[in-house]
Amino acid sequence: MKRKGAYSITAALLTIGFIATAALVVWFLVGATRSVVNQPVINVVGTPTLVDTGTTYTLYFTLTNIGGSAANLTGIQVIIPGDTTTYTASCQPTVISQGGKAHCSVSLSTLPAGNSALVRTPSGEVQILFSVIKE
């Protein structure tokens, strides 16, 4: 008995299996990359500024979206280290597209001891360092 056909069928099945496995790996990598790229990424532009008038304290900062999809800035929170209050900032516009900017401000009840804050958005958190201007 000669079994020449059995070896070629085995080789063909192994080749098809390797090609199918490679296709699944490529499909996974492309899908994972696409989902990561299509996320908003928030970044701070310029130097955030805290204006101290002696009675009011307002923090101004500008955010930009360097990600691949629009970012919603509705209800973003500002957390000052050492302060027990979580503040809500207002931004214009409230939705920034890819490459867009939004100007934000938040009124603070007390003058912060330091010069840093954490901005928490639905897209993630950004640490900011601000300068203080006394009027």
The string of pLDDT tens digits covering residues 41-71 is 899 999 999 998 888 899 999 999 998 889 9
Which pLDDT value is given to residue 3? Answer: 60
pTM of the model: 0.72
Q: How far apart are the first and last CA of the chain?
A: 100
Structure tokens at 128: 């900011």
- Report the chain's mean pLDDT, rounded to a whole number: 86
Residues 41 and 67 sit within 8 Å (Cβ to Cβ): yes
Which pLDDT value is given to residue 36? Answer: 62
Which pLDDT value is given to residue 114? Answer: 81
Give the mean model confidence (pLDDT) for residues 85-100: 93
Q: How far apart are CA 51 and CA 53, in angstroms?
A: 6
Q: How far apart are CA 33 and CA 123, in angstroms?
A: 18
Flag whether pLDDT at 35 surpasses 70: no
Low-confidence winner among 35-44, 76-85, 88-97 (lowest mean pLDDT): 35-44
Q: How far are the Cα atoms of 44, 76, 91, 95 from residue 100, in angstroms, in the given order?
A: 12, 17, 13, 9
Quick check: bond before 122 cis, omega within 30?
A: no
Give the mean model confidence (pLDDT) for residues 16-21: 90
> Pairing mode, if any, of strands 42-52 and 57-65?
antiparallel
Q: How far apart are CA 122 and CA 135, in angstroms?
A: 33
Which pLDDT value is given to residue 1? Answer: 52
Q: How far apart are CA 124 and CA 94, in angstroms?
A: 15
Q: Any residues with CB less than 8 A from the CB of 23 and at least 6 apart, and which?
A: none
